Chain A
Amino acid sequence: MLAAMSEQVHDIGTLQAMDDTAWAELQEDYYRRVYFYVKRYVGDHQTAEDLTQDVFLGALRGIAGFDPIYTLDQFLFGIAKNRVIDHYRKHKLTLMPSKPDGDSDKSQVWLENLAPDTAPLPKERVVKAEDEARQRQVLGQILREHVGELWSAGEFQKLMVLEYLFVIGGRNKDAAERFGIADEKAVAGIKFRAVERLRGMARQHDPNHSLFLGLWEPGAR
């Protein structure tokens, strides 16, 4: 029930070979979602279309260096995110509130994590970046497993609390109020148990103690 990735399979090698048909199929699969993603941030149709065009041109330029630890979905939407950020920087704009009442700009939190610079990295930084990429990959796997567990068990309130705390960066007190939970201690308990579960799963994925060093330091729970 989770994971909003594209179901169509696109062959990276064929795209890297600059095959016209492969690119037309990729564009057919993604252009609407990329357009609506961009339009959510920029508002008007023409700007959104221009930026969507930039996304596919950027994908053409960047496909040779495609890193297989990412999905095509992440690759394309990563470019889209950077184009939106570039647009805001270029025009010195502040983020448009996505709700009519203008009292919320939570969509902004989704614009963090700029894609890494494409400039070549020195060797030691390459190793560090590879370690971090591996950590993120495993953490993503663990989180997906845990969220899948909650979804399958129908624990939607816990799932909402965790998303509220981690994704929106909400406070325990506000989460208690938002979700009708007794008090902020109960929210802290939900978070604590989730973090403990993630720690346990992380240890299972790190039998050589080489991936998540902090988990194995003295004093770590």
Chain B
Amino acid sequence: MSIPEDKDLDELRQNELDARLAFTVASVWRSERISCPHPHVLQGHLQGSLEGGAKEFVEFHLNDSECPYCNATVDDLKARDDDAKQPVLTDMKDRLLRSTRAALKDSKS
């Protein structure tokens, strides 16, 4: 096996740096939701008021990237317009509140 020249080592080091950077960029991008559109933009998308590149991007973000945070926001916005889902969500909210209140009470006792 030949000994790598300095130029090769530089290239290797650069490739390693690029790989590390790409990995970190990916994880930060996802965890910090770097490209998630504002909920108002998602609302606009649902109402059909987005056009051109912005519309294309939001569709890509929801359907290709499958961003779970933005899809949750969209599902929430859709549910707000769906009367059939309201009782289910209201009942759930009441149960969640009771459970949280009980835990708060326990934490204070």
Listed in ascending order, the chain A residues whose CB lies under 8 Å from chain B are 1-5, 18, 20, 23-24, 27-28, 31-37, 39-41, 45, 49, 52-53, 56-57, 60, 74, 77-78, 98-99, 104, 106-107, 109-110, 112-113, 135-136, 139-140, 143-144, 147, 154-157, 159-160, 163-164, 166-169, 178, 195, 198, 214, 217, 219-221
Contacts and interface: CB of A to CB of B under 8 A. Distances in A.
Interface in B1-42: 10, 13-14, 17-18, 20-22, 24-39, 41-42
A164 B60 CA distance: 9
B76 A159 contact: no
Given A2-B36, A109-B30, A156-B53, A139 B25 contact: yes
A48 B62 CA distance: 20
A5 B57 CA distance: 19
B25 A143 contact: yes
A52 B33 CA distance: 21
A37 B35 contact: no
A167 B39 CA distance: 20
B32 A37 contact: no
**Lowest 4 CB-CB distances: which A-B pairs, in order?**
A156-B53, A37-B72, A36-B75, A36-B72
A33 B39 CA distance: 11
24 contacts: A2-B38, A3-B33, A4-B39, A4-B42, A23-B104, A24-B97, A27-B100, A31-B92, A32-B76, A32-B79, A49-B92, A49-B95, A56-B99, A107-B66, A110-B66, A113-B27, A136-B24, A139-B28, A140-B34, A144-B32, A144-B34, A163-B35, A164-B60, A166-B26
Nearest to A23: B100
Contact of B27 (A33, A99, A112, A163): A112
B88 interface: yes
Contact of B96 (A4, A53, A144, A157): A53
Residue among B36, B41, B64, B95 with max Cβ neighbours from chain A (10 Å): B64
Nearest to A169: B26
Contacts of B56: 156, 160
Contacts of A49: 92, 95-96
Given A18-B104, A136-B28, A163 B33 contact: no
B64 A168 contact: yes
Contacts of A178: 64
A33 B34 contact: no
A110 B93 contact: no
Contacts of A56: 96, 99-100
Given A23-B100, A49-B96, A220-B14, 20 more contacts: A1-B37, A1-B54, A3-B33, A4-B36, A32-B76, A33-B73, A33-B76, A35-B92, A49-B92, A56-B96, A60-B103, A78-B31, A135-B24, A140-B34, A157-B53, A163-B35, A166-B29, A168-B64, A178-B64, A214-B17
